[in-house]
Every structure is written in structure tokens, then in C-alpha cells.
Amino acid sequence: MTCDDTRPSHGRIDFEGLPNTRDLGGLPAADGRRVRRGLLLRSGTLYFATSADCRRLIEDYHLRAVVDLRGEDELAEYPDGMERLPGVRYVHADALRDAIAGISQNAEARARLEAARTSTDDPALFMETVYPHILLGESGVSAYRALLRCVLETTDGSVLWHCHFGRDRCGMGSMLVEAALGVPSEAMGEDYLATNLFNPDPPDERTDANPRFMRSAVAAVTREFGSVAGYLREALGLDDADISELRGRYLERAS
């Protein structure tokens, strides 16, 4: 993996308690422009943020909204603690609520899923099977629609979205935001894989960010909607005016 000189450490912000909070700023985007810095943040759960981290989010990044892509059980165990971020809008958008159910509605599908889950020959097969349904499941469509709407509705300051560590659900959300801004696929892939650089846990082939997972998700939405752009428009409801608004607000002006 290469690191863009205009985006040191893949945009990582050196917080005390948050190992994988990154700024999309600096990514190449539509019309030769780049994503503006300090406005679009991807992260893991804010539960582990220190008081200093929260202060920086408010004072340095002018945080206005948090989109939490986790499930109710995760929220109960590791709440974001929004009382430490006064005035910040909180959006709960569970991206995984029905993802597994959506691929296990019949015996054949359940058998495939279980085979993938227990595979020792291909430990990554399970997540490769699940990723398309993060995007195509009813809860995923609803969650990512809420994310894009929140990004559209935040007219000043920054938006932060996250799952538990900022890898799978957050990774797909980041891909969609980046696609709306015209970030090329190679740069989107680099941003997705960079999560592995900041994971304090030992490497795990079953769960580490893997280009196979992203390719599987992109292939699935392409089959359903023609392209990721088609998914943004048809599933998430973005129109030309929305895309123009996003790019006008979040991309640097052309020189």
C-alpha cells in the first residue's frame, strides 16, 4: 500500500484514545480536485475518546454530527457518550440489523453461510459473503441513506461516522461518501485498507480489511444497480443536485 504525499498517514488524526480516526481530506476527487480537509471524518466508536479528544473534535474540527452505524447491543456496551460533545447531532443508523437474515432465508442460503463461517481453507470467505449484504440489506440501505443525508444536511463544520473499529460498516460508508465525491476506485481502496495499519489487535485474516471484501460489495451493487453511482442514486436517493451540492461543499475549489 502506498501513502499519498498529500495525505500523510492516510489522513489519520493522532488522538489519544481513538486509533483509527481519519480525515478524508486530501483524497483525489472529481475534476482533478481534492476533498477538503477537516470536514469528513471516519472513525471507530467514540466510547474510547478521551476528554482531550472530544475537546479537539469540537474546537479543532467543529464537529456538528455523528452517525453511529452500530447495533443496539454495541451501543449498550460501548455508548458514544454524546454528553461529552454538547450541541453535536447524533444519528443512529444500524447498518447490520438484518444483513445476516437477508442471506439466510432458506436452507441453501443458510448452508452456504455456515460453510463460509466455518471454512478453514479460506478464513476470509465469511466476510466476503457478508459484505454485499451490508450494502444491500434493508437496514444497510436505510443506514447509508441516513449517512449521506446527514452529510448533505451539515452545512458547516464536520461530520463523523463510525462503527466499532471503523473498518467494515464504516469502510463501506466511507466508500459511498467518496464515490459521491468522485474519488477514484484505487484511492477508495487505499483508504479502506489503511484501517489495517491502525488496528492494535494482531492480524486476523478472517476480519482484517481485505480487497476481496470491497470487490465483493462493489460487484453486488453493480449487479443490482449498474454501478456504485447507480446505488447512490437508486438505493440511496441522491440526485444530480445532491451530488453537485456535495462536491461544491466538500471539494477544494478548482485552481
Cell numbers linked to 46:
467514540
Query: Taking all residues of the chain, what is their mean pLDDT, rounded to a whole number?
Result: 91
Cell numbers linked to 45:
466508536
Cell numbers linked to 12:
489519520
Model confidence, pTM: 0.92
pLDDT, one tens digit per residue, over 97-111 is 865 554 444 555 555
- Outline where 3-155 has alpha helix (H): 51-59, 72-77, 99-102, 107-118, 125-136, 138-153
DSSP three-state, residue 210: coil
pLDDT, one tens digit per residue, over 170-212 is 999 999 999 999 999 999 999 999 999 999 889 999 899 999 9
Domains, the chain: 20-250 (3.90.190.10)
Is residue 246 within a helix (H) or strand (E), and if so which, with residue range? helix 240-250
pLDDT, one tens digit per residue, over 71-81 is 999 999 999 99
pLDDT of residue 113: 56
CB 206 within 8 Å of CB 26: no
C-alpha distances in angstroms, 244 versus 133, 143, 180, 183? 28, 22, 9, 14
Cell numbers linked to 117:
463461517
Residues 213-223 have a mean pLDDT of: 97
